[in-house]
Amino acid sequence: MSPLQIQAFDAPLGAEVIGLDLARPLADQAFVRIHRAHLDHHVLVFRDQRITPAQQIAFSRRFGPLQIHVLHQFQLAGFEEVLVVSNIKDEHGRPIGLGDAGVYWHSDLSYKAHPSLGSMLHAQELPETGGDTLFANMHMAWDTLPAPLRAATAGLKAEHTYLAKYAELQKRSPWRPDLSDEQKAQVRPVVHPVVRTHPETGRKALFVSEHFTTRLVGVPEDESAALLRELFAHSVRPEHLYRHAWQPHDMVFWDNRSLMHLAAGCPDDQRRKLYRTTIEGDVPY
Q: Which is nearer to ligand SIN, 220 or 267 (CB)?
A: 267
Q: Which of 141-168 are b and which e, b meaning 16 or more Cβ less than 10 Å from the residue's Cβ?
A: bbeebeeeeeebbeebbbbbbbebbeee
By CB under 6 A, tell whether 85 contacts ligand SIN: yes
How many residues bind ligand SIN (CB under 6 A)? The answer is 8
Residue 192 annotated in active site: no
Name beta bridge partners: 190: 160
153 versus 278: smaller Cβ distance to ligand SIN: 278
Residue 101 binds ligand SIN, judged by CB under 6 A:
yes
Residue 231: CB minimum distance to ligand SIN, A: 20
Which of 117, 111, 71, 51 lies closest to 274, judged by CA?
A: 51
- The one-letter amino acid at 155: G
CB atoms closer than 10 angstroms to residue 174:
7
Give the active site residue among 108, 122, 192, 215: 108
Of the chain, the end-to-end C-alpha distance in Å amounts to 41
- Residue 276 in the binding site for ligand SIN (CB under 6 A): yes
Of 152 and 240, which has the nearer Cβ to ligand SIN? 240
Q: What SS3 string covers 132-194? A: CEEEEEHHHHHHCCCHHHHHHHCCCEEEECHHHHHHHHHHHCCCCCCCCHHHHHHCCCEEEEC
Name which of 102 and 127 has its Cβ closer to ligand SIN: 102
The number of CA neighbours under 13 Å toward the Cβ of 196 is: 26
Q: Confirm whether 276 is a catalytic residue.
A: yes
* 34 lies in the site for ligand SIN, by CB under 6 A: no
**Catalytic residue check, 62:** no
CA distance 92 to 95: 9
Q: How far apart are CA 60 and CA 81, in angstroms?
A: 10
Cβ closest to ligand SIN, residue 45 vs residue 85: 85
Annotated catalytic residue, options 42, 244, 257, 276 = 276
Q: Is 133 in the site for ligand SIN (CB under 6 A)?
A: yes
- The distance of closest approach from Cβ of residue 275 to ligand SIN in the complex, given in angstroms and rounded to an integer, is 11
For residue 4, the minimal CB distance to ligand SIN (Å) is 26
Residue at 267: amino acid letter: P
Q: Is 263 in the site for ligand SIN (CB under 6 A)?
A: yes
Q: Whose CB is nearest to ligand SIN? A: 102
Least distance in angstroms from the C-beta of 234 to ligand SIN? 21
237 flagged as catalytic = no
User: Does residue 126 belong to the site contacting ligand SIN (CB under 6 A)?
Assistant: no
Active site residues: 106, 108, 261, 276
Which residues would be at the binding site for ligand SIN (CB under 6 A)?
A: 85, 101-102, 133, 261, 263, 274, 276
